[in-house]
Structures are given as structure tokens and as C-alpha cells.
Structure 1
């Protein structure tokens, strides 16, 4: 399941999947918008970018690079790595450890970004952009991935927001109104109870088995997983509440499959498309599934709405990818310019959602209209529906994952210890204590390395 998800996310975040390339040329930016102006150079500069073999071989990749060269005069040469995203990062790790100077590295998510920034392999872009007069704060606002305060290593090339997809037929059969607007987790649970029908094998809710789901409430409340001294903050009551809350959804309330059922029955990430689940909480990258009637044939309608919130933290969950510049790059300004251009234009190639926050109404409506047109006509999903679900000005925004000094280790520890609680092999207190202890051990080990 996770391999499939990673492949899908990789395609969306890299922006190398698309159908129509009409009108996908570069934007007409003023001189102050571009950190590098390679057209003025007599000898064209070539910068190198790691990509997977699958993405590197797509025609749209060549179109994207041709469009950028036409605007900037800079060649972007692909360094193709066989395999998926994991293979890329193994190759990058080896190359950077040996002082390799390939210019561009895709940051698939905040955890990858945190890893490479912590290892001091990335070039901060703040000064390059400020010197060029490029206002990235206005362009991307709350969607910027800032590291260790205000350091910018990348710009978001798309935005994935957590939303709730719902099966209109199950709602209609249960005579339950469709959800819309701001709502709470209590309302979500009450809705799921009304939709659940064991006699028909129908669950009211479905949630992914990601580490994020085990600390979701704490994340929405903005509770830091690290204390001020850098040690684990997992003894904050919000993390215990989150794990217990998630466990009760499947084990006690039975409005969704329990963790044990998900694992033992190998319930796939796309089980919602079977028509047996009333609601699906997941990232907006999942829109590919309802749009694909060939892979997921159905005669029932799908709707979507914004993520429920915790009264103590009215925040949506979002994530984004981007491209970072190798600290050892010999063409740092040109590489930074490609990062800018890609972040501003990626949505035109991927068909996804831009992370820019300063678009005017006409530009914004055009994007949402194009996305809505990709859904089957039977769903009747409009641009306004998408805007209400994906762009929620009534909510704040917090990142999907715990990052910090041990992003990968933290997530793995939470999954391992959390699972022992969810399947009844550890008490809640013991699981939380073990997460904190193991996280502190990993933090200490990481500090000795750096």
C-alpha cells in the first residue's frame, strides 16, 4: 500500500504527470521575480536534477525542461536514478556524503527536507531570493516550509490538504445530511455512527494507517513533539489523548476497521472505493481515485469536504514537496531560479493544486475549474466544492508530520509502539512512555553524530 502511495505522491509532487500541455510555457515575470537571468549569459549554464527513471522517461518531463530553457536560457539535465523515490535518496545520500555537486534534489515531503537540512547538505535560499528582490513570503505565505526558524531550503511546488471524501449513496440510504463547512471531530463521529451498518458490511469511517493519524489531535492543536531543550515532548497529554482517541474509533465505537483488522485483513489504502465506507479521511492526492472510473468503476456519487477540527486547535493538515539546492552546487543562483520557476508553474503540468497564496480570483477559479473537470460528471463536483474543501480560510495550517531532529525515527517509533497499544499488547501509558524513551534515545544518538 505504502509503495503505491509513495509512487502517486512522487508523481504529484514532482509535477511530471499531466495530460494537456497547451499553454504550459513559462510565466512572464518581471526582472525582479527571477533570481537568475541566464538569457544574458553568452555560454548557457547546465544544472543537474535527480529524477526517477519513470518520471525521467515521460514526454512531459522534456516539455517542462524545454519550457524552462525557453524562458531562462538554462539547461536542466536529468540525473536519472532507476527505481522509485527511495532509490533516489539512497543514491543522493551516497553522492552528497562524497561531496557530489548535482544541483537539484527533490524534497518529497517535510521529513526528507528535515533529514537533508539537518545533515547540512542543502543551501539556504533566503539571501539569494532577497538579493534578487523575489518576495517568496507573499507568493507562498503559510505554505512555506521553514526550517529552524525562518530558513528556506525549498519552495512548495504543490499543496496536499487533508480532506474528507464521502459516499453520497450511503448518506442518502441512512438519511443523513451531507457534511459541509467547519465541523468538529465529535460531529464526524456522530455522523459515522449513523452511517455504520454491520449487516451490510458498511463502516461510517475510514482513516489511513499512517503515523500522523496516531497523533492527529495533538498536531491540529499545534503541540510540539520536542521540548525547548530538544528532548521528546511525547509526555504532553495531547499525544496520549490522540492515541487513545484513534484507538477507540475502531476498537470501541467500531465506526471503522480497527488497527488489527487493517493489518490482519490487509485492508488497502483505497478501500473506500469499494463503496463500503461512508467517509474517508485522507490527503487530497487521493482525488486520482474518484476521477478514475476505469480502475474504480462505480455508479454511486462522491463528495468531499474539509477536515474536522479539534476545538482546541482549529487547524487543517497539509503537506507539500519541492526542490532543494545542493550546498555544493556550482550554479547556485541558476538552481535557485529553477526552484522558483518550478514552484510557480508545477500545477500547470501536474494538474494538481498550486501552493501560491497570492493568486487573484480569476487565476484561482481557473485552477479549481480545471481540477473539478477531471471528476466524473455523475459526482457533480464543482470548483466551489473543491475550494471549500481545499482552501479553508477559517482554519489555520499545520504540517502533516513531526519533523525536527529525528523525523524518520520519530514516525517509526510512534507506529511501532502505537501498534502495540492498538492491538492490546501494551497499556496506553506504557506505549506513550516507550515512545518518549525511545525518541529521547534517538535524539541523543543524533546529537552525537552532529
Structure 2
């Protein structure tokens, strides 16, 4: 898949130009924002707006609003619904015209740099500094090179390994114990491939693994577990660290340990029914899936079976210098409009601070949504939900991990990810060999002129 050289380098610049055309250029809000220490007078009523998407199917927004309003009865938050699929496009248009809501989510880090340069976001460094050094939350991924923050996390999903305890038991294969490497994972998959049919599972439709089609399922694990900081790989133009991860992924599909990429992509296979209807014994996926699985087991969309969480397998070729299992995941953050002033700004800051902290996190944990703040009391709330995995390894897996960004923040992020997305499909369809495909990607990215020198 040849990259069109005239197109890709303009992607980030074009979005930024649209944003800046309506906001005046420059970085951040460009104005001094009131300190988060300036609290809203409890006797003053304030009304602010907040962006959200798919409100009927995404309860987190109303959950946060309801929880905050209960504790702050003089503040009213009105949710403005956006399209889930076109959220960034619609938000870009609103920022360009200066009509963005007072508070709006930043879906992933891939667009964060562009938004941060739009002059449409308030500087939230005053709030962020209150969370720096707090062991229960990591705000560092929103810190720009100039030391400023323009968003704070309210969700912090990390990728873990979901596994079907019943399938392991019936097959007589040892469950994950929290120490697996990718080699251990492969060995367990090969054992399950042999033993699941003997345990009564259909060999033609049930697989040891489900490996979803997203590029992150290969690339982000490799980047996080390479032994280097993600930025040091991502912006340098050498993507050889991906080779061993792609060779393993191809081995899994060639040995029919998982549905092959072509079939999954062509048939638009969804990960929820693959695991939920016991078509796969293991599945790497973000912690957001726990809420889906709990709900689907209640309403009958998923089978009833015992499941658990384990840390994602680790790189067998690189010693983990972290005291925690290394995984990946972009936070989901909240930003505030630079147009918001006075009591509305103070109310918006109070809301974002609450969402990032223990109050908002308990509210989200109560609906099985992984929050940003991982205190013991938040963890207790999450695992008390009926239908949630209850074992000790699951709890530790959810709470303890070293999470590296899927999208390191920089001006080149969007461009690089678009090139690597094409590379991913060319490798997984086996239309190109791993080495040449990665070399071509590096060459194409270098031609954009966006890499660190």
C-alpha cells in the first residue's frame, strides 16, 4: 500500500490550520486563567455545558454529571451530544468557530497535540500540579514540552489479558499466573488448540486466542515493551522493534491459533462476541471491556462463564526494568474551553478536578468503567459490582500496571500513525514481508519531514 506523498504530511497541518483560523493561532489559551484555588462561591449558581457522545449507550457522561451535581447543587451541567464516529471532526469545527462547550473530552492522545495548539483550550496546569506525585493517578501524559497541561484524565483504561477460566479448566491447561511472557502465551495457546476439541469445543469455530484487527494490538505492545521510552521509538523513524511482535502475530494466525486478519477484517468480526460467546479462550483488550462483559452476561448477549484478568504477557527479549507489568493505553481526558470565563470557568475547573479525582472515579467504578484515580476505595467499588471478576490476580491486574502511551504526544503523531496503520494491514494480510514493510514505512515517514533529528 503505497503512501501518497502529497497527502499524508498535510493531515496534521490542515486540521491545525482550521482550528487556528477561528482561534487566532499560537499555543494554549494564550491568557492567564484563574487558579483552581479560587473556588466558586457556594451561593452563586453557575451553568456550564459539556460534550459527550452516544449518550444512550455511554453512561459515563451522565454518571459524572449526576454525581458532581449531587455534591455541587448550585452547578448545572448540560450535556451536548456529538456523534461518536465524527466527534473529532465536529469538535474541530466548533473550536474553529469558537462555539465549543465549556468542558469537552479528548478521546485519545492522537489528537491532543493538535487541540493543544488551537488556542481553544484553557491552561489546566494549576489543577494538574495538585495531582503531580499522587501515586493514585498519572497525569504526565498530558504534560506538554512547555510544562503546561490542557487536559486531565478522567478515564485510564489499560490493556490486559481477558481469559475464560472455564475453558482453561475443561482443557486442563494452566491459567495465567501473572508472570507470562509472549512465549508462555503462545505455548498456552498451542496447548489449548490441541485440548479444547477434546473438551468438547468445536475446532472449526473456537480458537485459543482472539487477536483483534487494530494496529495497536501489535504495534502499541511492541512500542511499550521495547525497553525504550515510547517517544524514543516513535519519533526516531526506526521501527525494527516491531519485527518480533509481527512475527509472533503471523505465527498465531498461520497456526490457526486465532482467526486470520483477512477473515476478521472482511467479516467485520467484533471482539465482544468472540470472547463473550466463548469463541476464544484468551483476548488482549482494554479494561473498558469489563463493563461490556458484565452487562452482556446479565442481558444474555454473552454466555455465562467464569472469567478473569491477567497482566498482558511481557517481552521475552527485553528485561522489564519496571516493578510493574508493562502495557499500553491512552487516557481519556477532559479539557476546558478558553472562551469560558468567570464563575463558569471556576465551575468547569471544579468539575474537571472532581472527575479526575476520587469522587468522579468512584462514580465511574460503580458502573464498571475504569477511571483515572486508582485508590483502594475506588478499587473496592469497582470489584463489588455484581458479575465482575473477583479473584486476587484480576484485582491486582486492574490496579497495578506500568501503562505507556499508545500515541506519544507530538506534532507528528497523526502522520506517523496513519503510515503505520497502512503498514499493519499490509503485513497482516501477508501482502508484504515484515522487514521490507517496516523499512518502507520508515522511508515514507522520513519523507514527511516530521521526525526528530
* Range into which the TM-score falls when normalised by the shorter chain: 0.7 to 0.9
Q: Evaluate the alpha carbon distance shift between residue 355 and residue 338 of structure 1 in structure 2; reply closer, same or farther with a 3 A threshold.
A: same
Return the structure number with greater helix share.
1
Counterpart CA distance in 1 for 2:157 and 2:76 is 26
Give the superposition deviation at 1:416. Answer: 1.4
Distance 1:367 1:385, change over 3 A: farther
Matches within 5 A, 1:39-188: 39-40=41-42, 43-52=44-53, 54=55, 64-65=64-65, 67-69=67-69, 71-72=71-72, 75-78=75-78, 80-82=80-82, 84-100=83-99, 102-127=101-126, 130=129, 134-138=130-134, 140-142=136-138, 144-149=140-145, 150-188=147-185
2:266 maps to which of 261, 264, 267: 264
- Partner Cα separation in structure 1 for residue 399 and residue 127 of structure 2: 30
Structure 2: distance between partners of 1:342 and 1:181? 31
DSSP-derived class of the 1:249 partner? helix
- 1:192-250, Cα deviation, whole Å (9 max, x unpaired): 1101147723321112211212312232225456569xx84342421233333322221
* 2:186 equivalent to 1:189: yes
Counterpart contact for 1:39–1:73, Cα < 8 Å: no
Question: What TM-score do the two structures reach when normalised by structure 2?
Answer: 0.76
Does the C-alpha gap of structure 1 residues 241 and 123 become closer, same or farther in structure 2, counting only changes over 3 Å?
farther
Please give the alpha-carbon distance, in whole angstroms, between the structure 2 residues aligned to 1:64 and 1:266.
32
Q: 1:268 to 1:62 in 2, by over 3 A?
A: closer
The match for 2:226 is: 221
Partners of 2:75 and 2:288 in 1: CA distance: 30
Gaps of 5+ in 1: 1-32, 376-380
Asked if 1:280 is matched to 2:283, the reply is: yes
Identify the residue that residue 427 of structure 1 maps to in structure 2.
Answer: 433
TM-score (norm 1): 0.76
Q: Which residue of 1 aligns with 2:397?
A: 389
**Unmatched segments (≥5 aa) in structure 2:** 1-34
| RMSD of Structure 2 on Structure 1 (CA) | 3.3
CA 1:407 to 1:129, structure 2 compared with 1: closer, same or farther past 3 Å?
Answer: closer
Aligned to 2:19: none
2:248 maps to which residue?
A: 245
Give the structure 2 partner of residue 30 of structure 1.
Answer: none
Distance 2:242 2:111 in 1: 23
Correspondence list, 1:360-439, <5 A: 361=376, 363-364=377-378, 366-371=380-385, 373-375=386-388, 381-382=389-390, 384-392=392-400, 395-439=401-445
